[in-house]
Amino acid sequence: MDAVAVVCCVLITGPIMMLVSHQGQADLRLAGAVSAVCSLLVLCAHRWPRATTWATATTSVLLLALVPDAPPPPAPAVAALFLLGARTDRRTAVRTSAAVGVAMTAAAFVVRPELSAVESNLALLAWTQLPTAVGDAVRSRRELLVSYQERAEHAEATREEEARRQVVAERMRLARELHDVVTHHLTLVNAQAGVAHHLVRQDAERAYRALGQIRDTSRAALDELRATVGLLRQADDSDQPLAPAPGLRDLPALLDSFRHAGLCVEARCDGPRATLPSLTDLAAYRVVQEAMTNARKHVVDARVSVVVAVHRTHLEVSVTDDGGTGPGHGSGTGLGLISLTERVRAAGGTLQAGLQVSGGFRVHALLPIGSNGLPSASPQESG
């Protein structure tokens, strides 16, 4: 911008000097030097716009004194005022340009007495305010473009952050599903394999049944893993049928699998059956699954009580073990309960888990039913 201003100054001031030279009315050497200095001063506007404006105004008045026929104001003063508006805030630019305009008009009236008051007032407006206003408009547009660019960059960053957040959330959801499926089934496989190993030489028939249960459990694990992985392909292969998510309708089979693994389980369902929201149904199933898996892993010879109670507005699920005869050989990181808590919260419920004063461990969940909880049948009990 500075270089363009200097070129404009030279192009405008040059013809004026040539016109004066032709009329022989000025000392061209001194006038040319003053004009060159005045033009070069514009180069300082990027660092000192106010000082440059005053300097060019002073040299411009000197040039007017040397070249009486030159039309005011000289181009460098106009360029400096333009850069003043382009490089400073509006308040500073208006104040400085007004002061410079008054000073230049007064000085021009002294060196050019033939100028009338009307001409002086018009000069005050045209020489100072118009170039400054144009410079301010350029600055405002530049700032507007910068703000648009910053908004676009911020919006892009926000979209990327939201995309990353969704990816992380999806990974957590899949990790939760895989944990629930794999941990449960592998715990049962481990227990059944231990039974088979213990009985293989003493009771071949029971060992054979334990191996059959290992086969059935591993097949169920593979089926659930296949259904979970199928969620990843749903967008690209939407025609593929997906297995329904497990729910309380699958609770008897879940309890039987733990009984076959040697766990003593008592179960009770209080209240009418209800058509549950899908998230509530799945969360209730996972609560029972995770709690019983932990009891099988961490407690020896435990007795587990499972209570599912359907109320008017919510579903209550409670799984309690008696502590058994001692701690088991399983180890864990606690991520299962953390994942389970997140799942229950996602369904709008609450989860509490902890040791009991009388011994043992209890997992208790409250899940909302809402308007979808419609009684449809009588209560069911199993033991």
Cβ pair 274, 378 in contact under 8 A: no
Give residues with Cβ within 8 angstroms of 266, minimum separation 6.
Answer: 303, 304, 305, 306, 383
Residue 116 has pLDDT above 90, yes or no: no
Query: What is the signed CA dihedral for 213, 317, 344, 340, rounded to 10 degrees?
Result: -40
pLDDT at 328 (0 to 100) = 59
Tell me which H or E stretch contains 266. strand 264-270
Q: What is the pLDDT of residue 308?
A: 93
Please report which confidence band the pLDDT of residue 319 belongs to, taking 50, 70 and 90 as the band edges. Answer: very high
Which residues lie closer than 8 Å to 109 by C-beta, 6 or more apart? 115, 120
- Whose CA is closest to 315, among 342, 349, 292? 349
Please give the Cα distance from 382 to 267 (Å, whole number).
6
Average pLDDT across the chain, whole number: 73
> What 3-state class would DSSP assign to 352?
strand
Kindly give the interhelix angle for 75-87 and 28-41, rounded to the nearest 10 degrees.
Answer: 10
Q: Which residue has the higher pLDDT, 46 or 374?
A: 46
Token pair, residue 226, equals 């296949």
Whole-angstrom Cα distance, residue 366 to residue 318?
9
**pLDDT-derived band of residue 376, with 50, 70 and 90 as boundaries?**
very low
Domain ranges of the chain: 2-148, 247-383
Indicate the helix (H) or strand (E) that contains 19: helix 2-23
For residue 31, what are the contacts with CB-CB under 8 A and spacing of at least 6? Answer: 17, 20, 63, 66, 67
Identify the weakest region by mean pLDDT among 19-23, 86-90, 99-103, 191-195: 19-23
Please state, in angstroms and rounded to a whole number, the distance separating the CA atoms of residues 294 and 267.
Answer: 17
Written as one letter, the residue type at 195 is V
> Which helix (H) or strand (E) is 361 found in, with range?
strand 361-368
pLDDT value for 288: 92
pLDDT for 379 beyond 50: no
The contacts of residue 192 (CB under 8 Å, 6+ apart) are 210, 211, 213, 214, 217, 260, 261
For residue 102 the two structure tokens come to 């008054």
pTM of the model: 0.46
Helices first, then strands: H and E counts in the chain: 11, 10
DSSP reduced 3-state for 377: strand
pLDDT at 69 over 60: no
The candidate with the shortest Cα–Cα distance to 16, out of 56, 85, 67, is: 67
**Which of 55-64, 84-93, 330-339 has the highest average model confidence (pLDDT)?**
84-93
Which range, of 18-27, 66-75, 299-308, averages the lowest pLDDT? 18-27
Name the more confident of 79 and 70: 79
Burial class (CB in 10 A: 0-12, 13-18, 19+), 209: middle
Pick from 98-107, 290-299, 312-321, 325-334: least confident: 325-334
For residue 64, give the nearest of 136, 157, 127 by alpha carbon: 127
Q: How confident is the model at residue 315 (pLDDT cuts 50, 70, 90)?
A: very high
Q: Is the pLDDT of residue 286 over 50?
A: yes
* Helix, strand or coil, per DSSP, at residue 58: helix
Q: Tell me, which fold does domain 247-383 have in CATH?
A: Heat Shock Protein 90 (3.30.565)
More confident residue, 234 or 108: 108
- Kindly write down the DSSP assignment for every residue of 285-341, as one continuous string: HHHHHHHHHHHHHHEES-EEEEEEEE-SSEEEEEEEE--TTEE-S----SHHHHHHH
The answer for residues whose C-beta is within 8 angstroms of residue 217's C-beta and 6 or more apart is 185, 188, 189, 192, 257
Distance CA 126, CA 101 (A): 9
| pLDDT at position 88 over 60 | yes
Q: Which residue has the higher pLDDT, 168 or 32?
A: 168
- In the predicted structure, residue 72 carries a pLDDT above the cut 90: no
Residue 51 has pLDDT above 60, yes or no: yes
Instruction: Give 347's pLDDT tier (boundaries 50, 70, 90).
Output: confident
